[in-house]
Structure 1
Amino acid sequence: MKNVYAVKLGNLYYQGKDFNLTNSYGYKMTDNLNNAILSESFDDMKKRAEKIGGKVYKINLEEVK
């Protein structure tokens, strides 16, 4: 299986951007890795992590039979 990467900030994982009524945005976070955004690109996730102050973590996926 391929490795993927996730951005983590404290105990939360990056889930996406959240837009509000003032046309600005914040970052949506989740405590469940299943709801987080995963990417095969380390560089893309590193850029996101730098924006929100988090760190990139490598996730090893295993196929369950």
Structure 2
Amino acid sequence: MKNVYVVKLGNLYFKEKESILFGNYRYKMTNSLNNASFSEGFDSAKNTAEEIGGKVYKINLEEVEA
């Protein structure tokens, strides 16, 4: 099992941060956990959560045999 972290704001999950003019950023969100951005490090996820006012959640990923 592997632990990863996801940032959630309300019912939306953080997807990506893109740079726009003059050092400003736009945050893209998704309503699907499958499209969310996962972070292996808690500190990175925490920084993103603080920037957007969201919360960090730990997710356990398991390898499933087909």
TM-score w.r.t. structure 1 length? 0.86
Q: Structure 1, residues 5-63: CA drift from partner, whole Å, max 9, x if none?
A: 0000001000012456xx24321000111111101100110000000000000011111
- The amino acid across from 1:39 in the alignment is S
Find out whether 1:62 has 2:62 as its counterpart. yes
Question: Which residue matches 1:35?
Answer: 35
Percent of aligned pairs with the same amino acid: 67
Aligned length: 63
User: If each structure's helix is expressed as a fraction of its own residues, which one has the higher value?
Assistant: 2
Q: How does 1:1-65 map to 2 (within 5 A)?
A: 1-18=1-18, 23=21, 24-65=24-65
What CA RMSD, in Å, does the superposition of the two structures yield over aligned residues?
1.3
Between the aligned partners of 1:26 and 1:14, the Cα distance in structure 2 is 11
Give the unaligned 5+ runs of structure 2.
none
Detail structure 1 runs of 4+ shifted over 2 Å in the superposition: none
